[in-house]
């Protein structure tokens, strides 16, 4: 298990001085990045090989949002390693060892030139020290987005153009920024802001610099769904959120 210690910083908290959920995802993403750097397969290696790890989905459970200044420990390990992809598990713990958040994710190794999956180079998984699959709640194993019942309410919230600050080293909008846009246009979706909550993020299409995204909200009886789409309705990203009333609540 790879570990990274830090503190909840001012730029990552909201008006209540608690860690924002996009900042939580930033923390997980940074932990995975430094895991790769320390294993010898970091950004410089990827850029020279014209390859990159692309996350296809997240399943996140936020139990508690820590306060500013609190020391936190982020942990990650890879499991279920395949020739072209791997799963990553994440945990965030507080100073007393309490579990604040956990997440499951799937990453595909891509050739950026061709836009197609590439075989993971020999030696990568040995350096990552692949571990056994964790014992997961069914929610964290289910990569499918929330089901939208027939006749569900749907509305357009607005449009946004991808700015330069949202582009990462892979040349497209960074995965966390889809969540930031969803929160900006759907402030009433409490599952994107509060804890405890559960969130699924499914990426369908890469958003590039200057492209215009239409943000839609679909409401079900249990989940709120925010879609970031093209003008023609093709999904870039689908974010499903559940606000949990109490620990252990059954979700669909």
Domain positions in the chain: 2-141, 153-243
What pLDDT was estimated at residue 147? 75
pLDDT at 168 exceeding the cut of 80: yes
User: Nearest CA to 229 among 243, 242, 214?
Assistant: 214
| CA separation for the pair 235, 242 (Å, rounded) | 20
Beta-bridge partner residues of 134: none
For residues 69 and 8, is the Cβ–Cβ distance under 8 A?
yes
Higher-confidence position of 53 and 148: 53
For residues 189-217, one letter each, b for 16 or more C-beta atoms within 10 angstroms of the residue's C-beta and e for the rest, the string is bebbbbbbbbbbbbbeebbeeebebbbbb
Q: Which fold has domain 2-141?
A: Thiol Ester Dehydrase; Chain A (3.10.129)
**HSE value, Cβ hemisphere, 13 Å, CA-based, for 152:** 17
Cα-based torsion angle of the residue sequence 166, 168, 170, 175 in order, rounded to the nearest 10 degrees: -60
Report the CATH superfamily, name and number, of domain 153-243: Hotdog Thioesterase (3.10.129.10)
> pLDDT tens-digit profile of 25-84?
999 999 999 999 999 999 999 999 999 999 999 999 999 999 999 999 999 999 999 999
Equal CATH topology for 2-141 and 153-243: yes
| CA separation for the pair 34, 191 (Å, rounded) | 28
pLDDT at 173 exceeding the cut of 80: yes
Q: What angle do CA 33, 34, 40 make, to 5 degrees?
A: 95
Question: Residues 6 or more apart from 19 whose CB is under 8 A from it?
Answer: 8, 12, 13, 65, 66, 67, 72
What pLDDT was estimated at residue 249? 37
pLDDT at 252 exceeding the cut of 50: no
Q: What is the mean pLDDT of residues 222-244?
A: 92
User: Whole-structure pTM over 0.95, yes or no?
Assistant: no
For residue 64, the tally of other CB atoms under 10 A from its CB is 15
């Amino acid at each position: 298990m790879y570990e990274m210690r830090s503190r909840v910083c001012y730029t990552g908290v909201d008006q209540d001085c608690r860690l924002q959920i996009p900042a939580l995802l930033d923390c997980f993403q940074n932990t995975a990045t430094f895991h790769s750097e320390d294993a010898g397969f970091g950004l410089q290696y990827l850029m020279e090989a014209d390859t990159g790890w692309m996350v296809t989905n997240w399943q996140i459970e936020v139990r508690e949002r820590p306060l500013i200044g609190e020391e936190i420990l982020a942990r990650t390990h890879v499991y279920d390693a395949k020739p072209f992809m791997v799963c990553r598990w994440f945990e965030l713990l507080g100073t007393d060892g309490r579990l604040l958040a956990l997440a499951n994710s799937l990453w595909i190794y891509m050739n950026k030139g061709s836009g197609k999956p590439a075989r993971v180079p020999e030696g990568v998984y040995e350096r990552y020290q692949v571990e056994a699959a964790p014992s997961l709640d069914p929610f964290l194993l289910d990569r499918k987005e929330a089901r939208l019942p027939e006749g569900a309410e749907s509305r357009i919230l607005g449009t946004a153009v991808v700015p330069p600050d949202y582009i990462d080293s892979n040349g497209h909008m960074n995965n966390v920024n889809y969540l930031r846009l969803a929160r900006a246009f759907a402030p009433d979706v409490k599952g994107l802001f509060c804890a405890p909550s559960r969130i699924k993020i499914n990426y369908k299409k890469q958003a590039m610099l200057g492209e215009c995204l239409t943000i839609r909200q679909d409401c079900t009886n249990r989940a709120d769904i925010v879609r970031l789409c093209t003008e023609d309705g093709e999904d870039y990203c689908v974010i499903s959120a559940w606000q949990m009333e109490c620990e252990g609540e059954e979700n669909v």
